[in-house]
Amino acid sequence: MENNKKSADKISKELNWRYMLFDSLTFPTLIINPDKIILDINHNLQKKLSANKNLIGKTCHEYFFNSKTPCESATCPLPKLFADKKGQSKLIKIDTDIEDRWEDRVFIPILNENAEVAFIRVSIRDATQVKALEKELQDVRNLMEKIVQSSASSIVAADIRGNALLMNEAAENLFDYSLEEFQQNHSAKDFYPPGVAKEIMKKLRSKDYGGKGKLTSTKIDIVNSKGEIIPGEIAAAIIYEGNQEVATMGIYTDLRDKIAVEKKLEKAQKQLAQSEKLASIGQLAAGVAHEINNPLTGILFNANLLLEDQKEGSTIYNDLEYIIEDVNRCKRIVKDLLVYSRQANPAKNFVQLNMLVDQSLSLIHDQKLFGNIKIEKKMSEEMMLINVDENHLNQVIINLVMNARDAMNGKGILTLHTYRNKAAQKAYLEVSDTGCGIPEKNLHNIFDPFFTTKEPGKGTGLGLSTVYGIMQENGGNISVKETSPKGTTFLIELPLYSSLQREQES
Ligand SMILES: Nc1ncnc2c1ncn2[C@@H]1O[C@H](COP(=O)(O)OP(=O)(O)OP(=O)(O)O)[C@@H](O)[C@H]1O
Ligand SMILES: [Mg+2]
């Protein structure tokens, strides 16, 4: 045993293990004293230097920075090393003509028996590759970030407690929060009406909605910062690390535009169906009206002849008067039918909407017709030029006014309101009443011919269907803007023309 120790000591001295260890370090290494003087360098550093370069006795700043002046204490790692007696490292960029290189200089204190820093070992590690990888990673990260940020879909990621980690620009716009604002005061459950967040998590954890941890596109209501409910769609996923849930992410789509387009389409389809229905009924009505008109004229003529021979007040005289009255009513219906099914092309002119309204009102100015109904006009002072058949449009306005009157039972306010939207190139007329309103179940039928809720003899049910047809012919539209037991507003829309268009077209 004793012998072994002796021979080990001997070998150790002969081979100078410590020095060999220093030389065998893979990183170029130097030893400096606390005054920053280089005392020794290892084999690998010597190899790095040009053959005749001698560093011993020089300062570390001379070697590292080719400078006689010591580095500023803020940038030099040694003050902290002396204070903490712990290793320090410094990443340095070295500009070369060919490529940028990075060195990680690691300073390790070597303490004496009094625990004071006696020497410092400085290893130089080439960090160029690490840095290049780091940059690559950063570039990929930046690219991912850009993809997420520029996505038109709203993307949100949250930790498992619901704290938002990421919200792209589209999500900030949709939910109307900035990420910071949301992080401070909210959690992911605030994106939905109460209870919905839990429901989504349940679906995510189930296998039935796109596989465990996934939720394929599902319709939901989204709640924004103002508490507004937005119809939307969500596709979501749980992010796992191993088996552990660490985060969730959701991609949201705002369905408002899509729904608006669908509604428009539905409305257009309904209008088309209505026009087709009206067209076919119109043809039929025209035929029937023609056929009935002649015999009616005959009946009326003969009834009047017979009347002349009777004594006024006699039973026959009275019966004949009834016949004549009823025949006249039939003739009015036939006339209405012919108007409704008119086939002639409309004679269009450029007119002011306000002027048309006045003209129509003057045609029915008889106050007896309106009793205690007050007529109010709210006419826009702006120019509202429309290209329509005046007579037809008068008929439209009169029909609407008469319907409004009938709905009010002799008392109330009838308002005619005109306005325009220049950007949309539309002129509008609203006819409102404070009458009984239209029950929901009748709303689908009011534009149908012969639909009436009025007592027999009071209405034929052709008014609104005629109005509908005229509006179509004149490139406009009619709809019920609102109705309730407090009253109804009908809205007429017509293409708006400018004086310039008028000159070009006439
Ligand atoms: N302003 C309104 N308020 C309440 N109900 C209305 C109003 N306008 C129309 N209606 C309802 O729509 C039905 C159809 O109207 P439309 O003008 O086509 O026929 P009518 O007025 O009954 O008969 P006609 O106009 O042929 O004399 C009416 O019977 C009524 O029930
Ligand atoms: Mg009517």
Q: Compute φ and ψ for 308, nearest 5 degrees.
A: -60, -30
CA of 454, nearest ligand number: 1
pTM strictly above 0.85? no
Least confident residue range of 102-106, 209-213, 360-364, 443-447: 360-364
Residue pLDDT, tens place only, 445-470? 999 888 999 987 778 888 898 899 88
Query: Could you tell me the strand order of the sheet in which 214-223 lies?
Result: 164-167, 154-159, 244-254, 229-241, 214-223
Please state the atom number of ligand 1 nearest to the C-alpha of residue 403: 8
Residue 344 has pLDDT above 60, yes or no: no
Q: Is the per-residue pLDDT at 298 higher than 80?
A: yes
Q: Stretch 385-412: mean pLDDT, rounded?
A: 92
Sign of the torsion formed by the C-alpha atoms of 63, 69, 75 and 81:
positive
What's the CATH number of domain 256-343, 1.10.620, 3.30.420, 1.10.287, 1.10.3470?
A: 1.10.287
pLDDT-based confidence at residue 437 (cuts at 50, 70, 90) = very high
Average pLDDT over residues 242-255: 94
- Residues 194-208: pLDDT tens digits? 999 999 999 999 999
- Residue 109, pLDDT above cutoff 60: yes
Residue 35 has pLDDT above 70, yes or no: yes
Q: How far is CA 389 from CA 393, 417, 462, 502, in A?
A: 6, 20, 19, 15
Average pLDDT over residues 235-242: 94
**Is the Cβ atom of 435 under 6 angstroms away from ligand 1?**
yes
Query: pLDDT per residue over 49-85, tens digit each?
Result: 876 678 899 999 998 888 889 988 888 999 999 999 9
Over pLDDT 90: what percentage of the chain?
61
pLDDT in tens, 41-57: 999 998 888 766 788 99
Average pLDDT over residues 225-253: 94
Backbone angles phi, psi at 332, to 5 degrees: -65, -40
436 CB near ligand 1 (under 6 Å): yes
Ligand at minimal distance from the CA of 412 is 1
Is there a contact between 156 and 247 (Cβ–Cβ < 8 Å)? no
Give yes or no for residue 1 having a pLDDT over 70.
no
Split at pLDDT 50, 70, 90, the class of 270 is: confident
Q: Does position 108 have pLDDT exceeding 60, yes or no?
A: yes
| Both structure tokens of 305 | 């002849």
Q: In this structure, which topology does domain 346-506 adopt according to CATH?
A: Heat Shock Protein 90 (3.30.565)
Order of strands across the sheet that contains 38-41: 38-41, 29-32, 117-126, 101-111, 88-94
Instruction: Identify which has the larger pLDDT, 445 or 18.
Output: 445
Please, what is the average pLDDT of the chain?
89
Distance 407 CA to ligand 2 centre (A): 10
403 CA from centroid of ligand 2 (Å): 5
pLDDT grade for 368, boundaries at 50, 70 and 90: confident
40: Cβ–Cβ under 8 A, 6 or more apart, which residues? 22, 30, 31, 56
Residue 239 has a pLDDT of 94
Q: Which regions of the chain carry the CATH code 1.10.287?
A: 256-343
CATH code that applies to domain 151-254: 3.30.450.20
Q: What is the location of CATH 3.30.565.10 in the chain?
A: 346-506
- Residue 149 in contact with residue 126, Cβ under 8 Å? no
Ligand nearest to the CA of 329: 1
CATH fourth-level superfamily of 2-125: PAS domain (3.30.450.20)
Distance, CA 8 to ligand 1 centroid (Å)?
119
C-alpha dihedral, 426 to 431 to 437 to 441, nearest 10°: -40
CATH 3.30.450.20 domain locations along the chain: 2-125, 151-254
| 343 pLDDT higher than 60 | no
Q: Is the pLDDT of residue 262 over 80?
A: yes
Report the SS3 class of residue 50: coil
Q: Which ligand 1 atom lies nearest to the CA of residue 466?
A: 18
Task: Give whichever of 132-136, 263-267, 333-337, 488-492 has the largest mean pLDDT.
Answer: 488-492
